[in-house]
Chains A and B, each alone.
Chain A
Amino acid sequence: MSLLLSRRRLIGALGASAGGLAAAGCDRIAASPSTQALLGFGQRLTYSAQRIVMDRTALAPEYGAADMSPLFRVNGNATPGTDAYAAHVANGFADWRLVVDGLVARPLALSLDQIRQAPRRTQITRHDCVEGWSAIGQWTGLPLGLLLKQAGLRPQARYIVLHCADSFGSRPYYESIDLVDAFHPQTILAWAMNGAPLAVGHGAPLRLRVERQLGYKQAKYVMRVEAVSTLANSYGGKGGYWEDVAGYQWYAGI
């Protein structure tokens, strides 16, 4: 934090114009811990308010085939880019396993074929990027709630953490959701998109679709599903890669 502030002060000092200095002053107020605490209150209020007005099983809008985006842009990492991942792609994910562990009664390791043969849900939904663009696509996958019932959540479990094969630099991507969203009927681990096996750019072999939240929650290249009681012990502790590195909201329903 002190490093961040000093960097901002430096940028402020470099801005020679009066306007630049005024803006830097605003930024210093904005970055102060008390301002951030006050603003954080707004975030918690939004999360609570949405959970109150929203039926827990209220469905995200589903669209018809005619509404689909002609081209669904790839965003975030376009591939994990590791040797291990390349080997999985080369043999069609035959040796790949989805690990389900943490606070579960029966840890699982499932092959892609087992996942594809399990009950599935197909939905045409809208993907809303935090940046403001949106695209509509069709997703088919295994409802996460079914998987969690199979594994048997322990009573202490409060969140589901999705560990991914991709990373930014040395920081692996990950995301997490609460149990309301984990057991929501539209929350699936998608293995197909627009009627074809999930492409590498879109997160092959498996990506999360949690349709009532923004794009950065839709973790790609999911390798492991972990049930936890707290998010504090995973990676940076804020519940997701973007939450940890850039302060994005953990609850991305807005």
Chain B
Amino acid sequence: MPTPSALPQGGDLVQRHRLPTRLWHWLNALSVIVMLMSGLMIFNAHPHLYWGQFGANPDHSWLDIYPGHVRIGPLHIPTPGLLGVTPAGGRFVAFPPLLTLPSHYDLAGARVWHFAFAWLLVVPGLAFLVWGVLGRHFRRDLLPRPGELQPRHLLADIRAHARLRFPTGAAALHYNILQKLAYGGVIFVLLPGVVLTGLTMSPGMDAAWPWLLTLFGGRASARSIHFLCAMGLAAFLLVHLLMVVLAGPLNEIRSMITGRYRLPKGPRS
């Protein structure tokens, strides 16, 4: 263990991300964005979600997107101009053209994008998982340390984030607990979740791996969970981009391209 004085100080340039992390980050950024946009187009083909083994128009849905409003259970949320829109000269769509790939209604085209980029999501993702375990990246950098999950520590970190006070100096060498939970949630919950529920929607894969249906409680449930995981990834993406902007975008983006990161200077460093 180095003594505190031997630790890098605020303003120092340190090696922050290793090559596999950086490579996977950018491949994943591309595939997740294409998957989200083409996925929203696919959702537009049937903007209703159900629980159970089956679900079609005559059945009980838990989420619908209608012209100008969204229904979630008993809740009706007006969304004029945002969700459930009819573009000029186009057909009614749940998610608007700016968010979907292709922008116009094209289920077949969206499926071609979705299933091609699924390979870019899964193959590098599996490689990253193997490297993360064998290279001890997950254990060293993402596993919460004793005490970090205590409510007091969590609250303090949430408070610091809310005040936009980010770790500085040597403290910025490691992920804070909110980062660990967010990145861990994406790597171990949301990404495996979308991939496995995606496979569960495939009639071919249901024949090959029937346990998928047991795991998620049916195809209609898998489709609902697939959508919820995708919304979780979209929410992560938005917060992630906001945090990059707030924490100093040039330094953050450079660290994910070259690996080198300048430790922020703080009041005490």
| Chain A contact residues, CB within 8 Å of chain B | 11, 14, 19-20, 22-24, 26-27, 30-31, 36, 38-43, 45-46, 50, 53-55, 58-61, 63, 67, 69-73, 126, 128-136, 211-214, 242, 246-249, 252-254
Contacts and interface: CB of A to CB of B under 8 A. Distances in A.
A234 B90 CA distance: 32
Interface residues on B, range: 35 or more
Given A61-B207, A130-B45, A131-B107, A45 B119 contact: yes
Contacts, number: 148
B116 A132 contact: no
A214 B219 CA distance: 13
Nearest to B37: A26
Contact of A211 (B43, B46, B88, B203): B203
A47 to B, nearest CB: 9
B5 interface: no
A126 B50 CA distance: 15
Interface string B163-206: 00000000000000000000000000000000000000111111
B109 A30 contact: yes
Interface of B: 42-43, 45-46, 48, 53-59, 88-89, 97-98, 101-104, 107-109, 111-113, 115-119, 201-210, 213, 219-220, 223
9 contacts: A45-B119, A50-B202, A61-B210, A61-B213, A128-B203, A131-B107, A136-B53, A213-B203, A254-B201
B108 A246 contact: yes
B53 A126 contact: yes
Q: Is the interface of B mostly helix, strand, loop or mixed?
A: helix
The 9 residue pairs across chains A and B that have the minimum distance between CB atoms: A42-B116, A253-B204, A23-B103, A132-B46, A133-B56, A54-B208, A131-B45, A254-B202, A71-B58
B208 A50 contact: yes
Given A26-B101, A211-B203, A242-B108, A41 B219 contact: no
Contact of B102 (A27, A55, A63): A27
A42 B119 contact: yes
A212 B46 contact: no
Nearest to B202: A254
Given A19-B98, A50-B204, A73-B57, A133 B107 contact: no
A50 to B, nearest CB: 5
A135 B54 contact: yes
Contact of A23 (B55, B97, B202, B219): B97
A55 to B, nearest CB: 7
B53 A60 contact: no
A134 B116 contact: no
